[in-house]
């Protein structure tokens, strides 16, 4: 091992005093071993630089993709929310007091059914729902050409026992498109006992 | 790594010379600083924030009439200390695999060359991770074109210690990578 081999890297970096620079310069012309070492150190320095460039490029590349999953989830969520609002808009209205029911009774929304009703859903209604007054139909916001049906749903089928006072049921109003698919659903609470009084004077 | 504009507003009428100096220095040092900080383990965003912070400090430093000697190492030292304060990032240095860019770099090589180069790169990465913190920092700053004296200023060690540390680190890498 040459005594000057310790100065090779400092020589590469031009960090030696002038006389030492010249001394090493002369030495490496004669010493094959030091020339080889010098070559190796140069190679390592170059590869180290390339490695740093790769680290920077790697991190710059990873910047954008980090957001892709977040944006995808947000987009899917937004689509789901839109679909929910358009196709399955549940509307649970608060129970109206007696006086207001007389002017705008919740039961009056239960209009007559003018359309064929899907059988499985109809079964539920037949079991649990009181007959709606056939003369009232205030579902004015729905397109008149679209038939509407109602499904009575017992409260205990949706909520744990005791969560809803006895005598309260729910009615789902559905509009059916020409192809038979459900277009709109409205969910309304109904006071069964009160409704009987209101509709049977 | 976009945005070449100076992130600070300077009162040009009073500090025109300082502004010119800061602008020139920003052009010269932005890229090396970013590379140094990213290679220390900061994210690209963190590195950009840190560089902007460092130049804001430089502006205040010059505006206060402080010494204008060793400005390059002064900026690097500020950035280095800011990076150190982000401890969680600082510990991640060199911890990430680099397969993506190696593919990019070796686009025109044969499959055998690609495999060989990848293996060499992997060995180098492993060897770099095995260096001491001081060795790694010295090599990083040396790779940014800083003199040993400047590296000593930044890291708070003597010039001769920098020389010894750089020499030791390079020899370690050469030995482990069989260059």
The answer to whether A55 touches A61, Cβ cutoff 8 Å, is no
pLDDT value, residue A63: 58
Q: What is the mean pLDDT of residues A128-150?
A: 52
Between A37 and A73, residue with greater pLDDT: A37
pLDDT value, residue B70: 84
The answer to whether B64 touches B50, Cβ cutoff 8 Å, is no
Query: How does residue B158 score in pLDDT terms, banded at 50, 70 and 90?
Result: very high
Interface contacts A/B by beta carbons within 8 Å: 88
Q: State whether B45 and A6 contact (CB < 8 Å).
A: no
Residue A109 CA to residue B123 CA, distance in Å, equals: 77
Q: What is the mean pLDDT of residues A31-54?
A: 91
pLDDT value, residue A10: 94
Output the average pLDDT for chain B.
Answer: 80
pLDDT value, residue A122: 42
- B87 has pLDDT over 50: yes
Chain B residues in contact with A41 by the CB 8 A cut-off are 170-171, 174
- Alpha helices for chain A (secondary structure H): 8-12, 18-30, 32-61, 67-87, 98-103, 119-128, 192-199
Using the Cβ of B179 and the Cβ atoms of chain A, whether some distance falls under 8 Å is answered with yes
- B146 has pLDDT over 70: yes
The answer to whether B72 touches B21, Cβ cutoff 8 Å, is no
pLDDT value, residue B174: 92
Chain A residues in contact with B171 by the CB 8 A cut-off are 9, 41
Distances (CA, A) of A64 to A1, A181, B44: 51, 42, 11
Nearest residue on chain B to A53, alpha-carbon basis: B35
Using the Cβ of B25 and the Cβ atoms of chain A, whether some distance falls under 8 Å is answered with no
Residue A65: phi, psi to the nearest 5? -55, -20
The answer to whether B41 touches B93, Cβ cutoff 8 Å, is yes
Query: How does residue B17 score in pLDDT terms, banded at 50, 70 and 90?
Result: low
Residue A122 CA to residue A150 CA, distance in Å, equals: 8
pLDDT value, residue B170: 95
- Nearest CA to CA, how far is A27 from chain B (Å)? 18
Q: What is the mean pLDDT of residues A123-131?
A: 44
Q: What is the mean pLDDT of residues A109-138?
A: 46
Q: What is the mean pLDDT of residues A39-45?
A: 93
- Nearest CA to CA, how far is A62 from chain B (Å)? 9
Using the Cβ of B1 and the Cβ atoms of chain A, whether some distance falls under 8 Å is answered with yes
Chain A interface residues (partner B, CB cutoff 8 A): 6, 9-10, 13, 15, 37, 40-41, 43-45, 47-61, 63
Nearest residue on chain A to B175, alpha-carbon basis: A40
Query: How does residue B6 score in pLDDT terms, banded at 50, 70 and 90?
Result: low
- Alpha helices for chain B (secondary structure H): 12-40, 44-63, 71-85, 87-90, 99-105, 111-130, 133-143, 148-155, 159-177
Q: What is the mean pLDDT of residues B152-160?
A: 94
ipTM, 2 decimals?
Answer: 0.80
pLDDT value, residue A95: 53
pLDDT value, residue A71: 67
């Amino acid at each position: 091992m040459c005594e000057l081999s310790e100065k090779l890297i400092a020589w590469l970096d031009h960090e030696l005093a002038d006389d030492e620079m010249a001394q090493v310069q002369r030495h490496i012309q004669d010493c094959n071993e030091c020339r080889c070492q010098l070559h190796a150190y140069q190679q390592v320095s170059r590869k180290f630089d390339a490695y740093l460039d790769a680290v920077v490029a790697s991190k710059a590349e990873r910047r954008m993709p980090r957001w892709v999953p977040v944006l995808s989830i947000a987009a899917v969520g937004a689509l789901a929310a839109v679909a929910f609002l358009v196709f399955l808009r549940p509307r649970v209205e608060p129970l109206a007091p007696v006086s207001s029911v007389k002017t705008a009774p919740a039961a009056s929304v239960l209009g007559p059914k003018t359309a064929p009703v899907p059988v499985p859903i109809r079964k539920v209604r037949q079991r649990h729902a009181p007959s709606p007054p056939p003369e009232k139909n205030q579902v004015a916001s729905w397109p008149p050409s679209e038939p509407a049906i109602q499904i009575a749903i017992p409260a205990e089928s949706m909520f744990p026992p005791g969560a809803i006072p006895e005598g309260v049921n729910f009615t789902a109003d559905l509009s059916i498109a020409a192809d038979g698919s459900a277009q709109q659903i409205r969910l309304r609470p109904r006071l069964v006992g009160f409704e009987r009084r209101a509709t049977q004077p | 790594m976009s945005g070449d504009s100076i992130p600070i507003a300077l009162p040009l009428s009073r500090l025109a010379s300082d502004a010119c100096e800061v602008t020139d220095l920003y052009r010269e040092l932005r890229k090396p600083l970013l590379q140094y900080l990213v290679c220390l383990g900061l994210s690209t965003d963190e590195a950009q924030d840190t560089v902007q912070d460092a130049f804001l400090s430089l502006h205040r430093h010059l505006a206060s009439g402080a010494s204008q000697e060793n400005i390059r190492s002064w900026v690097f030292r500020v950035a280095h200390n800011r990076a150190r304060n982000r401890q969680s990032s600082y510990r991640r240095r060199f911890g990430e695999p680099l397969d993506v860019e190696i593919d990019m770099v070796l686009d025109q090589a044969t499959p055998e060359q690609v495999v060989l180069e990848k293996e060499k790169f992997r060995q180098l990465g492993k060897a770099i991770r095995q260096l001491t913190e001081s060795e790694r920092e010295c090599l990083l700053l040396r790779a940014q074109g800083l003199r040993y004296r400047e590296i000593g200023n930044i890291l708070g060690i003597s010039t001769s210690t920098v020389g010894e540390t750089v020499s030791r680190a390079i020899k370690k890498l050469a030995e482990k990578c069989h260059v």
